[in-house]
Structure 1
């Protein structure tokens, strides 16, 4: 074979010579192929490549430099004065309270805000207690809410010839009579004295006793109404907080009350415009900062930080809007978000607990371990103290309450109902008997009316609705939902990305089987797509022995996303997992099918309080090993804490503990339901935990500044939230 000839040989033999003009074959850039065997990149694999982390590290470094300079200056000054310098160098990595560290009182410049459906708690982190402000705004209108709205409680039949037993329909009458009969049986089982004609005594007295009229000058407890200018044109356009509830019904000009938050959500039922709804929400907060915290000038707000407490089952659209307003409109220096249950554990001083937060219109239950909320344990029930107030009024009217014109839409009647609930509702059956009591109806421009009425067991049966939610009215709790505020969706696949929870989905299954009144009629069309990103979950250790609706088929158990949200918005219904390694002593648990997506969107999530607590603990105690499950279960059952305004119902904790021990008989000593320690008001415990959190150095990792938000927007929440965003 002839070998390849060199260039010199070709030139000598054949006269051929290779030449090169140094021209490329193409001007297009040539990209070499990637070596697949040695491919590596560091993109977003180091902390210094993330803007949020980089800015945080720079701020931390600057703080340490400033602290070192201040210490050196103090040491030099002490040496110059001949005084020994004994102060130890502070360790900025310790999680200690930031009060008066290096001469600064951080809590005095930190505002803590906790917004509820009925009240808002706001104050500085250094305050012992927050300011409680009704979450309401009164705006000029042609008619008041009482003149333009349907009376509450809703009367199906309201006629002078119709007896009061038929005012609220057959379903309420049947449920109320069943509760009264069961309560009578339980009292007899406890050897309590029960008179057979107690209810007849109540109805006869109430139907035959007229009110007594008292002149206003003879009433020592007359109300101080909100004064308006004599000239209607000079009246303010809006009034916020407690003053709005004291505006006379027949005022000139008329004012209409608006509640921006309803059942823990934005109130889409009573608003037709999203900008107006959000404007009222932030206007209440803004005016409260100006008047209650006495910081009137907005230019001073740039010196303040803000800790904003959000629900465990939050909505990303709302949290992102709050962040935008607090940074852009309010001008706060930095903002931090904290979940309610985490704040409650900070306020109570517990590291591991099951937090039961009973608010005015929602009840949230979550298990917390080492200061972090267990994601799959979060439950949001759309019932609370207002349902007890309304049901208590319905029960008294059912028993021929002599103030038959009771209407919670009227401002003075609403305040009267709250007063009567605080006076007479209790979960103890020791002193239940026919009671005679007096109350006064005070309306602007009218003489005070003094009523003498009797009640029997209404004060106990009304809060019993926490354990029998079918007695509550759930008809309009989903009205207007998703009509003006859209849900958050994933930018890549368009799927809803608000958090999900297996425990919340178990509530939907329960409602489907047990409370038909909480399932709304199906709409004409359902266009919401089914989720496609749910995958089966492997078997887990043996769960708690709960009712059958909590243990469906494990083969059809999809996995939820890492967070949780209210049931009507969730596109899928994950089931609680089960395990083949079951205890032969446990009763058999039948299988249950998953409800369709349309059913979830039209279901009001409600469940008996004791069952909901066990459901939350059930989904929180599913580690890989059985021994770990048992340890967690005992810790959570022994750390159930009642917080929120509804938790102030007398003897609720002991009643709940008795119910739980009856269900979980295998834990006779472990179950403990407690109120907040140190006799702290349970209604403000969550705010108190937020104030403590706002003064810890570790919250530096959670603060969001203006520069970070300007660059990343709401995406910064994925880096800054201490939970999985």
Structure 2
């Protein structure tokens, strides 16, 4: 501990962060980087595999329904829009009229368009061809195949008279999302809505293989860590609170067996966020692309009954943006399909990030949208986007957001006969809840996925904090709300959360202050950075699992070493932070 008090933080990060890889998997993106980096590589969490099957859909999630399909859902959505538009005081909505009778907007002195001048550029289609290598080995290990495929995935492809063009076997990240639907590829998304995307069409084995391929490509192509060097590196898994015990166990197997790291430890996103922003007690609101999660942390320990999982995120805001523009007839006559053409989702996400904000009045702007048709060059269309403050309000009025219906994972998938949540470490460092079993805070049933709440963000935050118990702790949490995740960058969201949470608190509660604390870094990467800090400050590594132990013994009943992090690590880190 004397060393911790005397060492310069930058020196500590340099010494201990150079061989520590932090992996933060999400539904839409995976963030991977060395602990010594300021920010990680943020890569779309998808892979496109070449297929020779005629008629196979270009997206494996072909059963997902991205449209409102019932009359009641449509009515609920239009009612939610009218409510939101009224609250935002959009001037061209008649209070007595329905959604479809909105008056035509005008651009004049009273109706100034947005001043956002971000240049809109088209996304190029991915070149799916490569040069035929002169020779290929007859047999390769799966790891070497991944490395070879990563090398072949380089974008520089030439077509000389003597070289033979062939399809690339696998394409990763944003390049996979920019593949034309006419090309013979199937895009796989191994994680969806905060869980492994297991379905009758997508086996658990294939999900794991795709995760291995994507992560291995990032390690090779972005971090330049060869397979022969992996035994010199350790990994920190920062996992979403939505994951169940079996899913985390599979991730550990991927990291230790398939990616060949020497050791690994697991941290939850909520706890990592606390360390990423240097806090000790806060209500963490993590808003990702497909799910949002709320959990309260007291003195570095998550409170067991405060966790709320919400089934919406940034991707749903993008779809809501498209729905509103189409109903206003502001969207050009384009075949925009976020399911069949992921490149359209890239375009909508950029429009959302550039122009959507929460404030009163009409928010509109002139923008350029693009049509992407069957591999043809993108065609630009000028249009006027209106009501850009409505889509992000779907966070508070979930009926605005499109429900997704897709096959649930087989029930047997959640059966974990080696329950890794049993006999967790009991350590008492005094104060707070530090004497509880280490992962009571995230105990889940091994037979069922975690329950999702069908409420808005303000209600979820209020319910979570009021479940914390003591009034003094509740007051502290209401004044220490932390917004993280990509959606946290939405302009005007902080004031909207403060106002709506304050109104959601029952009048019988003696609480009159709600405050959202500013993030010390990009909210997208706070959880990843917290995982890096935890990994660097964990000198004892009592909770780390080594590769040979995992491969030989897996889970050892009665052992102190478990697959998740321990109170000991948290106490050690807080001792350093507070020293």
Q: TM-score, normalised by structure 2?
A: 0.76
Contact map agreement 1:151 1:408 (CA 8 A) in 2: no
Which of these residues, 405, 410, 414, is aligned with residue 482 of structure 1? Answer: 410
Gaps of 5+ in 1: 1-89, 157-167, 206-218, 500-560, 572-599, 622-628
> Cα offset for 1:96?
6.9
Contact map agreement 2:60 2:201 (CA 8 A) in 1: no
Any residues of structure 2 matched to 1:588-599 within 5 Å, and which? none
Gaps of 5+ in 2: 107-119, 133-163, 424-438, 569-579
Q: Kindly indicate whether residue 225 of structure 2 is the aligned counterpart of residue 225 of structure 1.
A: no
CA distance, structure 2, for counterparts of residue 498 and residue 248 of structure 1: 48
Aligned to 1:70: none
CA distance, structure 2, for counterparts of residue 436 and residue 180 of structure 1: 22
Q: Deviations over 1:14-36 (max 9, x none)?
A: xxxxxxxxxxxxxxxxxxxxxxx
> Cα offset for 1:105?
1.6
Which of these residues, 507, 513, 535, is aligned with residue 670 of structure 1? Answer: 513
Aligned to 2:564: 721
What's the secondary structure of 1:700's corresponding residue?
coil
Which of these residues, 292, 299, 314, is aligned with residue 363 of structure 1? Answer: 292
How many pairs does the alignment contain? Answer: 498
What's the secondary structure of 2:182's corresponding residue?
coil
Any residues of structure 2 matched to 1:21-32 within 5 Å, and which? none
> Cα offset for 1:617?
1.2
Any residues of structure 2 matched to 1:222-621 within 5 Å, and which? 223=124, 225-229=126-130, 234-251=166-183, 254-269=184-199, 271-295=201-225, 297-400=226-329, 401-409=331-339, 410-430=341-361, 432-433=362-363, 435-443=365-373, 445-457=375-387, 459-477=388-406, 479-482=407-410, 485-489=413-417, 562-564=440-442, 604-621=452-469
Q: TM-score, normalised by structure 1?
A: 0.62
1:423–1:667 Cα change, 3 Å: farther
Contact map agreement 1:114 1:120 (CA 8 A) in 2: yes
What's the secondary structure of 2:379's corresponding residue?
strand
> Cα offset for 1:237?
1.8
Contact map agreement 1:94 1:698 (CA 8 A) in 2: no
**Structure (1/2) with the larger helix percentage:** 1
Contact map agreement 2:19 2:233 (CA 8 A) in 1: yes
Contact map agreement 1:261 1:267 (CA 8 A) in 2: yes
Deviating above 6 A after TM superposition, structure 1's stretches of 4 or more consecutive aligned residues are 93-99, 201-205, 230-233, 496-499
Which protein is bigger by CA-based radius of gyration?
A: 1
1:390–1:152 Cα change, 3 Å: farther
CA distance, structure 2, for counterparts of residue 454 and residue 350 of structure 1: 43
1:303–1:187 Cα change, 3 Å: closer
1:433–1:710 Cα change, 3 Å: closer
1:408–1:270 Cα change, 3 Å: farther
What's the secondary structure of 2:338's corresponding residue?
coil
Q: Deviations over 1:503-523 (max 9, x none)?
A: xxxxxxxxxxxxxxxxxxxxx
> Cα offset for 1:173?
3.4
Aligned to 1:21: none
> Cα offset for 1:449?
2.5
CA distance, structure 1, for counterparts of residue 190 and residue 121 of structure 2: 35
Aligned to 2:112: none
Which of these residues, 115, 118, 124, is aligned with residue 28 of structure 2? Answer: 118
> Cα offset for 1:681?
1.0
CA distance, structure 2, for counterparts of residue 319 and residue 657 of structure 1: 34
Aligned to 1:687: 528
1:485–1:498 Cα change, 3 Å: farther
Q: Kindly indicate whether residue 49 of structure 2 is the aligned counterpart of residue 139 of structure 1.
A: yes
Higher RCO structure, 1 or 2 (CA under 8 Å, sep 6+)? 2
CA distance, structure 2, for counterparts of residue 140 and residue 438 of structure 1: 32
Q: Deviations over 1:421-455 (max 9, x none)?
A: 2233222124x155443323345642543323334
What's the secondary structure of 2:17's corresponding residue?
helix
What's the secondary structure of 2:76's corresponding residue?
helix
